[in-house]
């Protein structure tokens, strides 16, 4: 039951926030292809897709054509989640103790490279 609820929640989320909701229009695509194939039996499915998705011009069934998947794009819902940090408190018992000793691997904190200081010089006037 929990797995079904998670799948349903993900499906609802994806269909409302992405263009996956266009896939719900696939039955219209099949119906429209059947209509075209009855009018022109030699038309293949590929020819149908090229006709409708390659710079389609308005024609007699333009309203139906615009209901096909990915013909018209709609605004999708965007969600913003905000978590109030003040609701969560850090328990002092679980903090990591800090070592007060400074660990450096070099004798000097900043080492100057003679190689780099030789390259990065300002231009000289001769």
Is 56 part of a structural domain of the chain? yes
Instruction: Tell me the three-class secondary structure of 31-89, residue by residue.
Output: HHHHHHHHHCCCCCHHHHHHHHHCCCCCCCCHHHHHCCCCCCCCCCCCCCCCCCHHHCC
Q: Does residue 19 lie within any of the structural domains?
A: yes
Does residue 39 belong to any structural domain of this protein?
A: yes
1 has a pLDDT exceeding 70 = yes
Number of domains observed in the structure of the chain: 1
- Do the domain assignments include residue 29? yes
Residues present in the chain in total: 126
Q: Which domain holds residue 44?
A: 2-66
Query: What pTM was computed for the model?
Result: 0.50
42-95 residue pLDDT tens: 999 999 999 888 887 888 888 888 888 888 876 666 666 777 777 666 666 655
77: Cβ contacts below 8 Å, ≥ 6 apart: 16, 17
| 46 occurs within a structural domain | yes
pLDDT band for 33, please (50, 70, 90 cuts): very high
């Amino acid at each position: 039951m929990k797995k079904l609820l998670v799948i349903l929640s993900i499906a609802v989320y994806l269909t409302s926030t992405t263009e996956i909701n266009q896939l719900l229009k696939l039955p219209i695509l099949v119906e429209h292809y059947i209509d075209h194939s009855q009018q022109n039996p030699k038309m293949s499915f590929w020819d149908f897709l090229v006709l409708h998705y390659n710079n389609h011009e308005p024609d007699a069934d333009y309203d139906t054509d615009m209901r096909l998947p990915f013909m018209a794009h709609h605004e999708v819902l965007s969600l913003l989640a905000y978590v109030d940090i003040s609701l969560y408190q850090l328990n002092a018992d679980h903090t990591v103790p800090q070592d007060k000793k400074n660990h450096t691997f070099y004798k000097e904190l900043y080492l100057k490279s003679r190689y780099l200081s030789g390259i990065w010089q300002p231009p000289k006037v001769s």
